[in-house]
Each structure stands twice: as C-alpha cells, then as structure tokens.
Amino acid sequence: MTMNSDQAFVANDKLMLQARGIEKTFTLHQQGGARIAALSGVSLDVERGECVVLAGASGAGKSTLLRCMYGNYLATRGTIAIRDDSRASRHVMLTEAAPHEIIRLRNTTMGYVSQFLRAIPRVTSLDLVAEPLVSRGVNEDEARERASALLERLNVPRRLWTLAPATFSGGEQQRVNIARGLIAAHPLLLLDEPTASLDGENRDVVADLIVEARERGAAIVGIFHDEDTRERVATRIVRLESAAATVEPAVQTDSGVLQTC
Ligand SMILES: Nc1ncnc2c1ncn2[C@@H]1O[C@H](COP(=O)(O)OP(=O)(O)OP(=O)(O)O)[C@@H](O)[C@H]1O
Ligand SMILES: [Mg+2]
C-alpha cells in the first residue's frame, strides 16, 4: 500500500519534497501548436541531508523538473508536495497552491539557483545577495555583513560589491547568483548547473558550500555536469530518460500546413 502525501510528511520528518507522476508537455502556440513532451512520469522523494543529482542527456527535462519543483512551471499531470511544518498535514501541495502561497514557500523553504543571474538594474551585488535575508526579517546591517562574508568566500572582488552585476563576467554573475541562492540557508535547495561557468578553484568553493548545506540538513536537488563536483556533492543520482522521444512528429496547423517539429 502506498502512503499518501499527508501520511508521508507526518510519518517522516526528514521528507522535504515528494513528486509523484510528474508529466510536463509544452504546447508551442506560436509554432502551429507543436507539443513537446519534456517529462513523462517522474516520481521522487527528497529528504533532509540528501543531495539528489539529476542526470540525463541534454533535453531530458532536468531543468524543467527543477522549475516544476520551484513552481515556475505547472506540471501537466502529477503532484509535488513540499514540507510545511506550519500545517497539521506538514506539507503544501505545490501543484495546487495559489501564487501567494508559492511566494511564501520560496521565502521560507525553497532556494533556487538558476544557471544565469537575472540582474536587477541599479541594485548592487551586495544588496542583491543580502535581500533574501532582509525579506526573512534579518536587519539590514547583519544581512549585509553576512552577504559580504559569502561574496568574500566566493572570491567576488570587493570593488564589485557596490556595483550592479549587469556588466559582470559570466562567472562573476554566477557567483553572485549562488551567494543569493545559498545565503538564507533554505531547507530545500534547487540548483541548476550552479558551477557551469566557473573556474576550478571557484567550483571547489561552491562544492564546499553545497556540502556544508547538505551537512546542516538541507535537502538538495541539483544538476551538475562537472564529474568532480557531482562526485563531491551527490548522495544519489537520478537519471531522467528523454521524454522527447514522444514528441509528436507532425501536427496539422490551423492553416492546414503540415509542420514538423
Ligand atoms: N519553456 C519551454 N517551452 C517549450 N519547450 C521547452 C521549454 N522549456 C523546455 N522545453 C523543452 O523541454 C525539453 C527539456 O528541456 P530542459 O531544459 O528541461 O532539458 P535539460 O535536461 O535541462 O537539458 P540541458 O542538459 O541541455 O540543460 C526540451 O526538449 C526543451 O526544448
Ligand atoms: Mg538544463
């Protein structure tokens, strides 16, 4: 007998995320309604202290799964539940949650590091990194102090701290992005290739930070192409099979033109 989410989160206080039967199909309305199957039935439990690395070919749906887990994409089918100890059921069903509820979960529970930084014009890198702490109620001086320590550790030159990161190099932006994603010590971290544009030394720093997060009990789901980093951080590897094999090969468009995708 399988446990439903209610029982699972109450029975196991290490469980942070439970995904069941996740399917995601994109419909490209601008391109004749072509449909792309990105995920076809992924189920996964992630507990505190685990770092689950998503593996699989390019296009297998790794980033799509992370975005579904962060509530950026709504799964076409299936459920994702996230721990929320403020509820009797000890979880929120993300796939049914209202936008304000998803925002609250991002504030309290889920940290996400995308491959690229979405720089906000005129906000300094120091403030960008401090912001997740400030929005959790930490006072600004302390938040800036902790942001400085993290930027220092990630070898972001001090002269860049008071500048907006829009003009930074790819690796500098990525380190600001990682600092912003890790500073609030969220209990669930979703990391999409956080080391992709870093040199070896900085990759090692990031791997250390991820291992520290795992050891303090964070549940982590990440994508790492670099074999060394993967070996250092992973407690488990989950391979996604490409659902793209099920791409519908041709669709009849409204104009009657047969289009291949
Ligand atoms: N927003 C979107 N709209 C349409 N199709 C998308 C969208 N995002 C992803 N896809 C499609 O879904 C499939 C999976 O993409 P995804 O980015 O999740 O792959 P990935 O495993 O992260 O690949 P990579 O290792 O190259 O980053 C691809 O075929 C991609 O074209
Ligand atoms: Mg990807």
Query: What are 49-91's pLDDT values in tens digits?
Result: 999 999 999 999 999 999 999 999 999 999 999 999 999 999 9
Q: Which residues pair with 154 in a beta bridge?
A: none
- CATH number of the domain that residue 50 is part of: 3.40.50.300
- Residue 205: per-residue pLDDT: 97
| Nearest ligand atom owner, CA of 74 | 1
The answer as to whether 99 is a domain residue is: no
Q: Is 118 inside any structural domain? A: yes
Residue 250 lies in a domain: no
Nearest alpha carbon, ligand 1 atom 27: 58
Looking at the domain assignment, is residue 82 inside a domain? no
The DSSP bridge pattern shows strands 77-83 and 91-93 to be antiparallel
Nearest ligand for residue 225 CA: 1
Query: Ligand 1 within 6 A of 61 CB?
Result: yes
pLDDT of residue 255: 38
Q: Please tell me the pTM assigned to this model.
A: 0.90
38 Cβ closer than 6 Å to some ligand 1 atom? yes
User: What is the structure's pLDDT at 117?
Assistant: 72
Looking at every residue in the chain, the average pLDDT score rounds to 90
Q: Ligand 1 within 6 A of 62 CB? A: yes
pLDDT of residue 2: 53
Ligand 1 centroid to residue 131 C-alpha, Å: 29
Ligand closest to 60 (CA) is: 1
Number of domains the chain contains: 1
Question: Residue 63: inside a domain, yes or no?
Answer: yes
Closest by CA to 24, choosing from 222, 221, 224, 244, is 244
Atom number, ligand 1, closest to the C-alpha of residue 193:
27
Domain membership of residue 166 as a residue range: 45-75+107-243
Domain-embedded: residue 252: no
Residue 141's Cβ-count burial label (10 Å; 0-12, 13-18, 19+) is exposed
Q: Is 63 in the pocket of ligand 1 (CB under 6 A)?
A: yes
Question: How far is 137 from 14, CA to CA, in rounded Å?
Answer: 25
Give the pLDDT of residue 244: 53
If one residue of 36, 58, 190 were mutated to test the ligand 1 pocket, choosing by the most ligand atoms within 8 A of its CB, it would be 36
Interatomic CA distance for residues 133 and 148, integer angstroms? 13
Is there an atom of ligand 1 within 6 Å of 60 CB?
yes
3-class DSSP state of 188:
strand
Phi/psi of residue 253, each to 5°? Answer: -85, 170
Q: Classify residue 22 as exposed, middle or buried by CB count within 10 Å of its CB (0-12, 13-18, 19+).
A: buried
**Ligand 1 atom 24: residue of nearest CA:** 58
Domain contains 238:
yes
In a domain, 159, yes or no: yes
Task: Locate 107 and state its tokens.
Answer: 């504030």
